[in-house]
């Protein structure tokens, strides 16, 4: 697998989002299965693994820590802070809180340093300069190597980067959600030399084409059950996105999921998608996207078709969107 740069951090061109193994997209997978998926990803060339303290909470970091412990020096681990799990999951990026929770993440991840430490969501109660300054101190102490932001606006990215270099910005990005192209985030990343990490590169599991109006998601274990985009009506109405990817895939001998990932990889050389799965077959399918070379004609066809498609349903529910930074 080739590598790409997130700022000064070198990672595999595809990463692995580990969240769905433990939480949020259904009940937790069997632990042995989860470890096998993570280690198989590394066997396939993945060196970039993404988790967060809130996934579980805590259980996903613990799983990732166990899975990667034997190969710790060969991989890049990204995790996140920003929620206060002792206070009902409220936003909390106060410097004292960051210093407290980094110790818990280090322990669960069985490591002495976090390669990429993201602020999971921007905390409007704490100036981003204070957050960046705290990370700068943790970098000096060797506990953190690189600083990242998740779901941050272009303005916040610029303010943070002025205090301490931001290596990567993580936001939902796929053929179904192209907000970063229009809100200045990708432009800010390009100007400042910051890498971009799309989460949900497969439309939170929709773009492979396996979900339809009959799909039943468990509201107790699957966040998507409460998202408009995953209502039966939206699952049916968004089918043209899967059909478009399927048409292009027929020409390239690729699945819709592989075309979706190849499209993201073709956007910019500093974009590193992190598809997540607990399924070894899906893992191999995702990695097959690296063999898909979309031609300029393919890319023009996709962009022209996307211009005529409307996405039905919001990307997350109101509560989730309330903590997305959209300051301008």
Domain ranges of the chain: 3-322
pTM: 0.97
What residues are labeled active site?
Answer: 55
Please tell us whether the domain made up of 3-322 is placed in CATH 3.20.20.100. yes
Residues 6 or more apart whose CB falls under 8 angstroms from that of 168 comprise 6, 7, 9, 78, 116, 118, 146, 148, 149, 194, 195, 196, 197, 272
Phi, psi of 189, deg, nearest 5: -60, -45
For the stretch 260-289, what's the b/e string if a residue is b when 16 or more beta carbons lie within 10 angstroms of its beta carbon?
bbbbbbbbeebbbbbbbbbeeebbebbbbb
Q: Read off φ and ψ for residue 167, nearest 5 degrees.
A: -85, -35
88: Cα within 13 Å, side-chain hemisphere = 1
Q: Phi first, then psi: what are they for 150, rounded to 5°?
A: -120, 130
Q: How does pLDDT run along the chain (328 residues), one tens digit per residue? A: 999 999 999 999 999 999 999 999 999 999 999 999 999 999 999 999 999 999 999 999 999 999 999 999 999 999 999 999 999 999 999 999 999 999 999 999 999 999 999 999 999 999 999 999 999 999 999 999 999 999 999 999 999 999 999 999 999 999 999 999 999 999 999 999 999 999 999 999 999 999 999 999 999 999 999 999 999 999 999 999 999 999 999 999 999 999 999 999 999 999 999 999 999 999 999 999 999 999 999 999 999 999 999 999 998 888 899 999 986 5
User: Cα angle at 206 between 202 and 210, to 5 degrees?
Assistant: 120
């Amino acid at each position: 697998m080739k590598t790409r740069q997130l700022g000064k951090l070198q990672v595999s061109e595809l990463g692995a989002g580990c969240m769905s193994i433990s939480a949020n997209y259904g009940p937790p997978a069997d632990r042995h299965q989860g470890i096998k998926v993570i280690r198989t990803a590394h066997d396939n060339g993945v060196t970039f693994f993404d988790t967060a303290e809130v996934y579980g909470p805590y259980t996903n970091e613990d799983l990732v820590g166990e899975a990667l412990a034997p190969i710790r020096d060969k991989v890049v681990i990204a995790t996140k802070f920003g929620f206060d799990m002792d206070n009902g999951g409220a936003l909390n990026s106060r410097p004292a809180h960051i210093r407290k929770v980094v110790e818990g993440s280090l322990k669960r991840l069985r490591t002495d340093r976090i390669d990429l430490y993201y602020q999971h969501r921007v905390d409007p109660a704490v100036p981003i300069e204070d957050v960046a300054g705290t990370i700068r101190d943790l970098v000096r102490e060797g506990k953190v190597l690189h600083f990242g932001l998740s779901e941050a606006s272009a303005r916040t990215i610029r303010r943070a980067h002025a205090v301490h270099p931001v290596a990567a910005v993580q936001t939902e990005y796929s053929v179904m959600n192209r907000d970063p192209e229009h809100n200045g985030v990708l432009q800010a990343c390009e100007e400042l030399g910051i890498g971009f990490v799309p989460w949900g590169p497969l439309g939170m599991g929709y773009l492979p084409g396996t979900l339809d109006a009959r799909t039943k998601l468990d509201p107790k274990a699957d966040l998507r059950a409460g998202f408009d985009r995953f209502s039966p009506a939206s699952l049916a109405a968004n089918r043209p996105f899967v059909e478009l990817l399927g048409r292009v895939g027929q020409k390239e001998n690729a699945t819709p999921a592989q075309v979706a990932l190849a499209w993201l990889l073709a956007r910019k050389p500093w974009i590193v998608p992190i598809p997540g799965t607990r399924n070894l077959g899906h893992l191999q399918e995702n990695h097959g996207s690296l063999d898909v070379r979309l031609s300029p004609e393919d890319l023009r066809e996709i962009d022209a078709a996307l211009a005529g498609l409307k996405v039905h349903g919001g990307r997350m529910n109101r509560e989730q969107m309330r903590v997305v930074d959209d300051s301008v």
